[in-house]
Structure 1
Amino acid sequence: MQIEEWTHAFELILVEPLYRSWKEPPFVMVAEGFSFILQALKGLEYMHAHNVAHGDAHMGNLLMDPKPIFPDSFHGA
């Protein structure tokens, strides 16, 4: 089946990487938590430099890329 056969005008299919909560696994060292906070603030700074306002930034909206922790993939089931 071709994609064109099952999509309609004004529909969008978005495929994103599997990200996970920043809480799991927990940080082992204080330096890991500090690095995480610094990276999150740098991300907000980057967005603001490009005139993008998140509008709802809080800890529940932060996700991480698990590849450095789970290089062989992470199974979400």
Structure 2
Amino acid sequence: MAKTQGMKQGERRVKGTSERRVTAKGNPPARKAQVVTLGDLIAAAFDVTGEAEAAAKLVSSKAMAKATGKRIVFVE
């Protein structure tokens, strides 16, 4: 039998962190982003509120800017 270098029989070698594999077992696959146009956003806001002014206020809100990453401004 060939002996390993510098190790006694029954001894185990601990792998360093760089040698360990990082696996994502149990994590669900990431969701793909959907493409939503500005018209889709305005139509959905109008469907929810039922008024043009309320829809404009909703789409141009800070929360919508944070969610879309863009600031939407309505000009009358």
Normalising by structure 1, we get a TM-score of 0.25
Which of structures 1 and 2 has the bigger CA Rg?
Answer: 2
The structure that is strand-richer by fraction is: 1
